[in-house]
C-alpha cells in the first residue's frame, strides 16, 4: 500500500512497512533452536532487529530523491540523479533491495511493500534493471 501526500509543488509517496521478512526469520529460528541454539539465537535476534527497523523506518519517494525517515526525522537522502542501477533480488519472495549510486552501493532488506517499492522505482528511476535470477 502506498500513502501519497500532495503539496502544491510536489507529490511524495511513502511506502507502508512489510513485516514478512522479519517474522519469517523469527519463525525459522524456532525449529532451528533444537539443532543449533546459537545459530537460532542469532537469526532470531536479527529478525527482531529487522522487525524494529520495519516499525520505525519509512521510505519516501519525492520528486528528486529517495528519503529515509525515522519517525519525522530525515536520516538519509539519496538523490535520483546519482543513481546508476537498482534491483530487487529474488522477485518471487523479495528479500533484498540493491541500488548503486555514483560513489556507493547499498543493500537494504525488504522491509516495505515490495510491489509498491518496485512501482515507485520504475516511475522515479526508469533504469532497466538486469533480468531477475
Each residue's pLDDT tens digit, 34-52: 999 999 999 999 999 999 9
By C-alpha distance, which of 40, 15, 4, 9 is closest to 94? 15
By C-alpha distance, which of 89, 93, 82 is closest to 124? 82
pLDDT tens for 85-128 read 999 988 788 899 999 999 999 999 999 999 999 999 999 988 76
Residues ≥6 apart with Cβ < 8 Å to 99: 78, 83, 85, 86, 87, 105, 106
What mean pLDDT value characterizes the chain? Answer: 88
Does the pLDDT value for residue 1 go beyond 50? no
Residue where the block lists cell 541454539 = 37
**Residue 90, pLDDT score:** 83
**What CATH number belongs to 2-124?**
2.30.29.30
Instruction: Give the pLDDT band of residue 8 (cuts 50, 70, 90).
Output: very low
Amino acid at each position: 500500500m502506498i500513502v501519497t501526500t500532495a503539496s502544491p509543488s510536489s507529490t511524495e509517496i511513502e511506502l507502508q512497512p512489510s513485516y514478512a521478512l522479519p517474522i519469517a526469520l523469527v519463525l525459522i529460528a524456532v525449529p532451528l533452536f533444537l539443532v543449533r541454539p546459537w545459530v537460532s539465537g542469532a537469526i532470531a535476534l536479527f529478525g527482531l532487529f529487522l522487525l524494529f527497523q520495519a516499525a520505525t523506518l519509512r521510505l519516501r519517494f519525492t520528486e528528486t530523491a529517495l528519503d529515509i525517515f525515522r519517525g519525522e526525522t530525515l536520516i538519509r537522502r539519496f538523490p535520483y540523479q546519482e543513481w546508476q542501477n537498482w534491483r530487487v533480488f529474488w522477485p518471487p519472495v523479495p528479500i533484498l533491495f540493491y541500488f548503486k549510486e555514483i560513489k556507493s552501493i547499498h543493500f537494504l532488506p525488504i522491509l516495505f511493500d515490495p510491489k509498491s517499492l518496485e512501482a515507485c522505482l520504475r516511475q522515479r528511476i526508469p533504469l532497466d534493471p538486469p533480468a531477475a535470477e
